[in-house]
Each structure stands twice: as structure tokens, then as C-alpha cells.
Amino acid sequence: MTILVTGGAGYIGSHALIELASAGFDFVVLDNLCNASSEALQRVEAITNKCVPFVLGDIRDAGLLKQLFADYAINAVVHFAGLKAVTESVAEPLRYYDNNVHGSQVLLQAMVEAGVFNLVFSSSATVYGDPVEMPVSEACSVGRPTNPYGRSKLMVEDILRDLVVADRRWRIAILRYFNPVGAHESATIGEDPNGIPSNLLPFITQVAVGKLPQLSVFGSDYPTNDGTGVRDYIHVVDLAQGHVAALCYLQENAGVHTWNLGTGQGYSVLDVVHAFELVSGAKIPYRLAPRRAGDIAVCYANPDKAFVELGWSAQLGLERMMHDAWRWQKNNPNGYSNK
């Protein structure tokens, strides 16, 4: 079975390639490298000892997609390609809707024309907005994401639900990721953000290697144990394995299916800082700062549905997430431009 992996050179996509390869799937990667390096794919080749076919291009390029579906006998698409920076999405909403929503539409149209109806889509816990119950399950209502990035994910989810009503050939998995962190155990691939990281873990690891002076903890007056925000951090390798489980499920089941991919365990910002310090031996200087606009107090998954239906659950705990994130950063202080 051959999978088209859009955004396969990115953080989650590159980890997914390894899990797909070890599960016996063939694949071809489509990525425009707007937020990734082809070096990541070379490292995936070294880890898997397998050639990674790569097409440099954009999901919005209908002609290229047509050619790609003609050139490769693709059975399914795992669609990671997208822009993901929340603050940037507030500043440049049109760019986000164009890339994430229009890009997905062009891809879906090309799939229809090629007769490919199997899709795994990267969604996000952000579609729950400020969830009304915790832990948040798939049965919780979606809506009111707090930024254009989140709304772009919800719009694509809505398009996918509409598609399945219109055409019963579709088999679609919507995966709502919680907070992916960590890196492959080889420490040769990992998260390589452009500029100053906006996410917690890359910020911490860059403080640890001395690239940034101190962490700002956004909010210390939330109604949580220590006043800092609580999230469900999930090891990127566990997350990647969830995609293999979803692809296998789609082989047996038509329709649209939605799963939370999280651990079910919430940790505060200070829990994460302390766990990182323990594992790395590094001291993370921090200051308590005002809340970040758009942040919610607490968000962690009820992951039961994925366990029951996919037989998937996260295996790697917080300590391992910190360990792998630290090894990646230590060995690659400048990410993929290290060589």
C-alpha cells in the first residue's frame, strides 16, 4: 500500500514516515519545505534504511497533484501539510486560510479525480476551543477556536464531514492532536522551529542550550494546582504510531472517524520545567509573566475512543518526552542547519 504523505518533511510527518516504514507501508512525500528541511528526509532514510521518494511542491498546485497521482499508485493520503503558528495566523489570516483550507480543498479534489478516497487528516485539540468538560472527549462540542489557525482546522474538518455525506466511498480519519513533544530515540530528527519558538518545549530546550536567556511562564493565576496552564503532552513517536493505527482502521471501515490523540494526563508548565530539569540536569531560569492572549487554562484528552477502536494508546511518559527532546536539542543545537 502506498501513502502520499503531505508535509512529510515536517516535525510530525518525519516521525510518521518511520512508523509507516516499519509497519510495511510504502510512501511518497510531498512538501514545499516552507517550514522544513530536506535534511530531515535524509535522516529518515538513514534511520529506516529505505529510500524516501520526495516531490518538492505545494498542495495547492493542482497540476502537480494530478501528475503525482498518475506517477504513483497511491492508495491513501496522510495530510500533515499546513501552517501551524497561532500568532502568525492572527497576523496573516488569509495566508492561513489559503494554505490550510484552500490547500486541503485542492488536495481533496485531486484525490477525487484520482479515485483515492482514504485520508488521515492532522487536526488539533484547538477545535474544541475552551472545552466545556475535562478531560475533553470527541463527543464534546467543537467550535469557537480562539484563532484563525484553529478555525482553519475546524473548517477542514467540516469539509471532510460534508464529503462523507456526499460520497460514501470516503474513508476519513480526523486525528485531533494534543501537544506533541519529544523526538525520535536516535536524536537525529526532531522539532526545528523557525526563529524564536512559540511552543513550550522547544523554548525550554533552547534555554537549556543557552540560545535563549530565560523562559516566560505565561500565566500563574490559572485555576490549576500551581497556577500555570495545564496541557496533555504526547510523545511524537506515540502520535506517529496513531497514524498507522488509523490507516489500518480505515482499511476495514468507511465513513468519517474522529479520534483524540493524547495521553489523558495533564501537566502544568512548571511540571514540565521541573521534569526537564530533572532529566537534563540543566537549570531553566524562568519568570512568571502575564497570560498569553488566546490561551486556555486546562486542556487534556479523554483518549478512550482511540484505545477502544484503534487499539492505540500512548506508551511514553513525560520523563521520556523530556529525555528525547533534550537529546535532540543537545545533539542538534541549530536543528537541521547543524551540519
Residues of the shown chain interacting with ligand UFG in the complex, contacts defined by CB under 6 A: 84, 86, 124-126, 177-179, 198-200, 203, 215-219, 229, 231, 269, 292, 295
Q: How far is the CB of 281 from ligand NAD (least distance, A)?
A: 26
Burial class (CB in 10 A: 0-12, 13-18, 19+), 326: buried
Q: Which is nearer to ligand UFG, 105 or 198 (CB)?
A: 198
Q: Which is nearer to ligand NAD, 215 or 240 (CB)?
A: 240
Q: How far is the CB of 103 from ligand NAD (least distance, A)?
A: 5
CA atoms within 13 A on the CB side of 2: 12
Rounded Cα–Cα distance for residues 269 and 220 (Å)? 9
Q: Which is nearer to ligand UFG, 58 or 271 (CB)?
A: 271
Residue 236: Cβ within 10 Å count: 26
Q: Which residue is nearest to ligand UFG (CB)?
A: 229
Q: Which does 260 bind (CB under 5 to 8 A by kind): ligand NAD, ligand UFG, none?
A: none
Torsion sign across C-alpha atoms 263, 265, 269, 271: negative
Torsion sign across C-alpha atoms 322, 328, 334, 335: negative
Q: Which does 31 bind (CB under 5 to 8 A by kind): ligand NAD, ligand UFG, none?
A: ligand NAD
Q: Which does 245 bind (CB under 5 to 8 A by kind): ligand UFG, ligand NAD, none?
A: none
Q: Which is nearer to ligand UFG, 176 or 184 (CB)?
A: 176
Q: Which does 295 bind (CB under 5 to 8 A by kind): ligand NAD, ligand UFG, none?
A: ligand UFG
Q: How far is the CB of 31 from ligand NAD (least distance, A)?
A: 4
Q: What is the pairing mode between strands 267-268 and 54-56?
A: unpaired
CA atoms within 13 A on the CB side of 275: 18
Q: How far is the CB of 222 from ligand UFG (least distance, A)?
A: 8
Coil/strand/helix, residue 66: helix
Q: Which is nearer to ligand UFG, 6 or 179 (CB)?
A: 179
Q: How far is the CB of 283 from ligand NAD (least distance, A)?
A: 26
Residue 142 DSSP class: P
Q: Which residues bind ligand NAD (CB under 6 A)?
A: 6-7, 9-13, 30-36, 58-60, 80-84, 99, 103, 122, 124, 177, 179-180
Q: How far is the CB of 150 from ligand NAD (least distance, A)?
A: 9
Say if residues 203 and 141 touch (Cβ distance below 8 Å).
no
Coil/strand/helix, residue 238: helix
Q: How far apart are the first and last CA of the chain?
A: 34
Burial class (CB in 10 A: 0-12, 13-18, 19+), 72: middle
Q: How far is the CB of 11 from ligand NAD (least distance, A)?
A: 4
Concerning whether 149 is annotated as a catalytic residue, the answer is: yes
For residue 264, give the C-alpha cell.
489523558
Q: Which does 269 bind (CB under 5 to 8 A by kind): ligand NAD, ligand UFG, none?
A: ligand UFG
CA-nearest of 325, 216, 231, 219 to 276 is 325
Burial class (CB in 10 A: 0-12, 13-18, 19+), 65: buried
Q: Pick the catalytic residue: 96, 97, 128, 149? A: 149
Q: Which does 9 bind (CB under 5 to 8 A by kind): ligand UFG, ligand NAD, none?
A: ligand NAD
Q: Which is nearer to ligand NAD, 190 or 219 (CB)?
A: 190
Q: Which does 122 bind (CB under 5 to 8 A by kind): ligand NAD, ligand UFG, none?
A: ligand NAD
Say if residues 16 and 23 touch (Cβ distance below 8 Å).
no
Q: Which is nearer to ligand NAD, 147 or 228 (CB)?
A: 147
Residue 335 DSSP class: G
Q: Active-site residue numbers?
A: 149
